[in-house]
Structure 1
Amino acid sequence: MNILMTGGTGLIGSEFIRQFSDEHTFTVVSRNIAKAKELLGNGVEYVESVAAVQNFDTFDAVINLAGEPITDKRWTDTQKKKICDSRWNITAELVSKINDSTSPPDVFISGSAIGFYGNQGDRVVSEDTPPHNEFTHELCAKWEAIANSVVQENTRVVTLRTGVVLTEKGGALDKMALPFKLGTGGTLGSGRQYLAWIHLQDMVQGISFLLNNSSCRGPFNLTAPVPVTNKEFSKSLAKALKRPCLFNVPSFVMKIAMGESSTMILEGQRVIPEKLVAAGYKFTFPSLTEALSDIY
């Protein structure tokens, strides 16, 4: 396939390109083409913006993974707007180009997140679970609504409700592992909140599965089949790193340190990939023990 990708220099996008560059051709949207070339090499085409693409008639698929990191900074009003605009605006640009195409791409795969569901406590969450209305839900709901404004008689739309992606290459796991490596790791808050995670390899293989299966439409949870509590995750991570799990960071400390964004860590969701499994996808790393053993 000839694929246009946003977010191609990110953790997921760059790994997808690395794994499938022999199978597909890629055009990556990047504001810093020199930096993108450094990371992805010369086997990829580059454009500075969606607007710079004359038309989408030559593309078989569009994969949209762009967006400001959601937990890197405190959620001030300015940062919330940046998080939203970085996702909504580029998605709207892509949708406009797809709908204006004479021969539009067959499939549009667009990012989302399990934040769509909001705080669900220990309830098992599938794609059909009604959401709890809060900032992350509002962010993801509008993000998906924009993606779904594609004319779907012409282009199949899939939205990726992604959990915490685990990999040795960076991302959230690096931050979570650092206190354990220093011997100060432990549980966060009550430790009873659930963490829905996915190994990077299953993330990119899952996207490929959805890309190539024309019967797959709508939202899909990109999470491993077995979500775990923060306490279980902390103990498993400590064991994988051969470090102790001795401490607990109280909820109020997290709230002081992170502000409103601490809700993503202190509340969480027990999300399962019901539709992905039903469609026939087989996870390489279905359990946390297997995932962490591979990474470490």
Structure 2
Amino acid sequence: MAIVVTGASGLLGGPLVEALRAGGERVVTLVRREPRGPDEARWEPRAGVLDPAVLDGARAVVHLAGAPIADRRWSADYKRELVRSRVDSTRLLVEAMRGLERPPATLVTASGVDFYGDTGDEVVDESRGKGEGFLAELCERWEREGRAAGEFGVRAAQLRTGLVLSRRGGALGRMLPIFRAGLGAPLGSGKQFWSWISEDDWVQATIHVVKNRDLVGPVNLTSPTPVTNAEFTRTLGRAVRRATMPIPVPGFALRLGLGEFAQEGLLPGHRIVPDKLVNSGYGFAHTRLGDALRAVL
């Protein structure tokens, strides 16, 4: 009854696998190279290659693989890669499960709060519908492929993740050198809400979703206390003991430097609350941004 994980070498996959194994779970990771032991299995999502036997009788599959959203400017080719690496790989997993006599009990797939689009300062839970924009469309297509596993009895849950505070990199890793140099500043108006979650809470909440059979469909993986970008800026500045710049970085400058990603990934407001997690009994380790940043740093 193994738990199968894709994207295990990524920012969140690594600590998730570590935590699962520390808790006594057997984890099999899907890799795109020659396996190095019985706890690895090879797949080639681009070529559509996956041995269904790897998934037979699995307790759960946690699918985190996908090309990084913010690692490069969004050319037309890279946007196609963002879609392909998520949508096609999820479809491959679901189709491999479909013919099994013992399909996995649970499929947990990654997604993002970008599903909701720009929601301004409105408080948003999982009942909110899809927003507008490339990332919203990407998340919707990604989630739809995962939900298809429900057609043959697999519990399907989708992790709509906010900004993860991780010491290993990601968005916080890109911000830290700027803030440590005393150059941190609000982005755009600074009034847009950012929904964040600590790495520890993301890992434990994901395990909670894997184990809690009542959690089906989208689950917001964010802290219960989103903050504005301006407040995030001030709090991170205090955490690294550096002053922040009083003048915001104009939205047009961000769009000029970062292109479409700035418009969709940095400037929209996401005031997301994790109603399903809270109502299912999950207890957050970090609900205050300052405490979370101190724990990370």
Q: TM-score, normalised by structure 1?
A: 0.94
CA displacement 1:124-182 (0-9 Å, x = unmatched): 11111133221111100011111111144521000000101101111110111221111
Query: Is the Cα–Cα contact under 8 Å of residues 115 and 136 in structure 2 kept in the other structure?
Result: yes
Query: Is the Cα–Cα contact under 8 Å of residues 166 and 200 in structure 1 kept in the other structure?
Result: yes
Which range moves more in the overlay, 169-178 or 79-88? 169-178
Per the alignment, residue 256 of structure 1 pairs with 256
Query: Is the Cα–Cα contact under 8 Å of residues 29 and 49 in structure 1 kept in the other structure?
Result: no
**What amino acid is the match of 2:51?**
V
Per the alignment, residue 295 of structure 1 pairs with 296
Query: Is the Cα–Cα contact under 8 Å of residues 6 and 63 in structure 1 kept in the other structure?
Result: yes
> For 1:62, what is the secondary structure of its paired residue?
strand
CA displacement 1:177-219 (0-9 Å, x = unmatched): 2211111111111100111111011001001101111111110
CA distance in 2, matches of 1:129, 1:253: 31
> For 1:47, what is the secondary structure of its paired residue?
strand
Map 1:59-208 to 2 at 5 A: 59-152=58-151, 154-208=153-207
Per the alignment, residue 225 of structure 1 pairs with 224
Structure 1 residue 270: Cα displacement: 0.7
Structure 1: which 5+ runs fail to align?
none
Map 1:8-19 to 2 at 5 A: 8-19=8-19
CA distance in 2, matches of 1:215, 1:153: 17
> For 2:164, what is the secondary structure of its paired residue?
strand
CA distance in 1, matches of 2:260, 2:104: 39
Per the alignment, residue 273 of structure 2 pairs with 272
Query: Is the Cα–Cα contact under 8 Å of residues 50 and 96 in structure 2 kept in the other structure?
Result: no
**What amino acid is the match of 1:89?**
D
CA displacement 1:234-254 (0-9 Å, x = unmatched): 000000000011242111110
Which range moves more in the overlay, 231-240 or 49-58? 49-58
CA displacement 1:109-128 (0-9 Å, x = unmatched): 01111110011111111111
- The percentage of aligned residue pairs carrying the same residue is 35
Query: Is the Cα–Cα contact under 8 Å of residues 111 and 143 in structure 2 kept in the other structure?
Result: yes
> For 2:95, what is the secondary structure of its paired residue?
helix
Query: Is the Cα–Cα contact under 8 Å of residues 130 and 140 in structure 2 kept in the other structure?
Result: no
Query: Paired residues, what number?
Result: 290
**What amino acid is the match of 1:49?**
E
1:285 aligns with 2:286: yes
Query: Is the Cα–Cα contact under 8 Å of residues 50 and 92 in structure 2 kept in the other structure?
Result: no
CA distance in 2, matches of 1:207, 1:249: 34
Runs of 4+ in 1 over 4 A off after TM superposition: none
Structure 1 residue 30: Cα displacement: 1.6
Per the alignment, residue 29 of structure 1 pairs with 30
Relative to 1, partners in 2 of residues 1:215 and 1:10: Cα closer, same or farther, differing over 3 Å?
A: same
Relative to 1, partners in 2 of residues 1:93 and 1:65: Cα closer, same or farther, differing over 3 Å?
A: same
CA distance in 2, matches of 1:193, 1:33: 45
> For 2:135, what is the secondary structure of its paired residue?
helix
> For 2:86, what is the secondary structure of its paired residue?
helix
CA distance in 2, matches of 1:43, 1:167: 29
CA displacement 1:8-54 (0-9 Å, x = unmatched): 111111101111214211221121357xx6xxxx6832324363424
CA distance in 2, matches of 1:234, 1:293: 14
CA distance in 1, matches of 2:50, 2:86: 18
Query: Is the Cα–Cα contact under 8 Å of residues 27 and 47 in structure 1 kept in the other structure?
Result: no
CA distance in 2, matches of 1:224, 1:20: 21
Per the alignment, residue 47 of structure 1 pairs with 42
Structure 2: which 5+ runs fail to align?
none
CA distance in 1, matches of 2:50, 2:91: 15
